[in-house]
Structure 1
Amino acid sequence: MDPASHDGMPIDVLVVEDDPIIALDFEDTIHGFGVKSVRIAATVAKALELIEDKPPQFALLDVGLIREESFAVAERLETLQIPFAFVTGYGADAMLPTAFATRPRLPKPCSTDALRALLTSRGINS
């Protein structure tokens, strides 16, 4: 089992988000939960680089980045069996590929409680 903090939180979370304000908000909130490392990537290339450098224990993926979608990151995480969830301003209307249709997703903005629950469960049964 992956190491986790005493409350079940992952120790390292990757946030793939192209809006710097939203990324900083996620980072501050997740650090507030006691997560030791929160890494931010604004592009698919940067996210894949960070995953290659050190696979995270959990990832939050904004579906729509500036000029791309995060599905290549999702595919890599799935290959590595790293749990992840999508975060999107489109909510339930976000069109996800069939392979990811059952993945957990949070709306943007999301409540602190919903984010905490997702990280604690690492997307299981979300």
Structure 2
Amino acid sequence: MNPRLPGKRVMIVDDEPMVAMLLESALSDEDCIIIGPFDGVGSATEAAHGESLDFALLDVNVADGKIYPIAQVLESRGIPFLLLSGFGDGDVPAGHEHWPMAGKPFSIEPMIERICTALGVAC
């Protein structure tokens, strides 16, 4: 299989080690450059502000709070992201209903397709 996202820099923020490893493995299979994974807002803040990023996968509920400050930084930088939540679409904050959300558990293939679409890459 040919990788669909070669060289794309994708940040992962998830405080569940098994989920973070699954995401990292799937994105590595697509030849992405992984930034992280980070386990919370505090650990991801510097990367969100300064790293060269193409996309981010953000768990909404991490150990040190909600991921919304990171999402706001990425949005202000024009970096697309996907929020991940086990609580459904109700986890999108008021005023940010346009933020894309995927439920947990998730399937890898549809997630990769969503990343491709966000980046304008044919899958």
Cα distance in 2 between the residues matched to 1:108 and 1:88: 5
The gaps in structure 1 that reach 5 residues or longer are 1-5
Q: Structure 2: how far apart are the matches of 1:27 and 1:88?
A: 17
Q: Give distance in 1, aligned partners of 2:15 and 2:105.
A: 14
SS in structure 1 of the partner of residue 61 of structure 2: coil
Kindly tell me the number of residue pairs found equivalent between the two proteins: 118
CA distance in 2, matches of 1:25, 1:56: 20
Gaps of 5+ in 2: none
Question: TM-score under structure 2 normalisation?
Answer: 0.84
Structure 2 partner of 1:52 = 49
What amino acid does structure 2 have at the position aligned with 1:66?
A
Matched residue type, 2:25:
D
Aligned twin of 1:77: 74
Instruction: Return 32-41 or 61-70, whichever deviates more.
Output: 32-41
Alignment partner, residue 100 of structure 2 = 104
TM-score with structure 1 setting the length: 0.82
Greater strand proportion: 2
Q: Structure 1 residues 122 and 39, CA, compared in 2 at 3 Å: closer, same or farther? A: farther
Paired with 1:85 and 1:37, the residues of 2 have a C-alpha distance of 15
- Determine which of 11, 19, 23 is the counterpart of 1:22: 19
Question: Which consecutive segments of 4 or more residues in structure 1 shift more than 2 A?
Answer: 6-10, 36-39
Across the aligned residues of Structure 1 and Structure 2, the Cα RMSD in angstroms comes to 2.0
